[in-house]
Structure 1
């Protein structure tokens, strides 16, 4: 069995159709095993025999649309891909917090990968790298000024559309810890 994380885009816990119990119910209905969730922002974990990731993404997304009306987008990663990302230590010496908001933006499997890293369009954003194994941009965002929002996320949305979803580094660490639990 392979362990996976389905990272859903556009989940709002205040929407009753987006509650973790309903999201887990959809994945269980697909025959996925050991379905669980991390936080209330669309991080679903499960096991299944090894599968083609784009097919798995499409199957989950189709079920979410048909059963709950959720159209946000689904990105799937294996435990091995996420563990490899953590082990690469892309943010050495940094701690997630105000001024150093550590983010990971996952591209949907099969999405156009960048030929080179984007240049920072905002002085409050430092693109650290692109991890090809996890298919993810890594960035440090300075969000210490509540009156100014960096535009990196808007650039990613304009460039990749709904084929992305972003998590904090802390959330990725939590997902991996739960996937590795017995």
Structure 2
């Protein structure tokens, strides 16, 4: 049995068809086990005997679209990939906070990337690195400058489209904790 996290793109919990109970219902209906949500932002953990991640992503996305009208993307990571990412401590000595966001941008399997980002895609963003095993860009975003807004997320969307989804480092930690409970 594999333990997975589904990172759903474009979830707005205030939209009736995007609530955690409806999302969990889709995963339960697909026959997955131990289905649980993490926060209210499109993070579902589940167990499955299936081991073809791209096939799982397509199956889940088709069902989310047909049953709930959700057209966003589905990106799946296996527990061991996420645990190894946490263990690598890519943000040593840094703390996620209101002014400084530690972020992890996950790429769908098959998304085109060299694994490299420009040194400074945005003056309010510091690239920490790219974890090839977890297929994730890691960055620190300065949200503490009054009247200034980072353009890093817009750059990522323009470059990778719907083949990505971003989570705060705290959310990644919560997802792994839920997978391990």
Task: Report the equivalent of 1:117.
Answer: 117
Q: CA deviation at 1:114?
A: 2.2
Task: State whether residues 45 and 179 of structure 1, in contact with CA within 8 Å, keep that contact through their aligned partners in structure 2.
Answer: yes
Extract structure 1 runs of 4+ deviating beyond 2 A.
Answer: 113-119
SS in 2 for 1:71: coil
Task: State whether residues 98 and 142 of structure 1, in contact with CA within 8 Å, keep that contact through their aligned partners in structure 2.
Answer: no
SS in 2 for 1:97: coil
Task: Report the equivalent of 1:10.
Answer: 10
Q: Which moved more, 1:159-168 or 1:48-57?
A: 48-57
Task: Report the equivalent of 1:174.
Answer: 174
The alpha-carbon distance between structure 1 residues 139 and 167, as it changes in their structure 2 partners (threshold 3 A), is same
Determine the C-alpha separation between the residues in 1 that align with 2:88 and 2:50: 24
Determine the C-alpha separation between the residues in 1 that align with 2:77 and 2:146: 32
SS in 2 for 1:126: strand
Task: Report the equivalent of 1:35.
Answer: 35
5+ residue gaps, structure 1, are none
- For residues 19-67 of structure 1, the C-alpha deviation after alignment (integer angstroms, 9 at most, x for no partner) is 0000000011111111000000000000011411100100000000000
Task: Report the equivalent of 1:130.
Answer: 130
5+ residue gaps, structure 2, are none
- For residues 138-157 of structure 1, the C-alpha deviation after alignment (integer angstroms, 9 at most, x for no partner) is 00000002421100000000
Equivalent residue runs for 1:1-182 within 5 Å: 1-181=1-181
Aligned length: 181
SS in 2 for 1:91: coil
SS in 2 for 1:178: helix
Determine the C-alpha separation between the residues in 2 that align with 1:176 and 1:100: 22
RMSD between aligned residues: 1.0
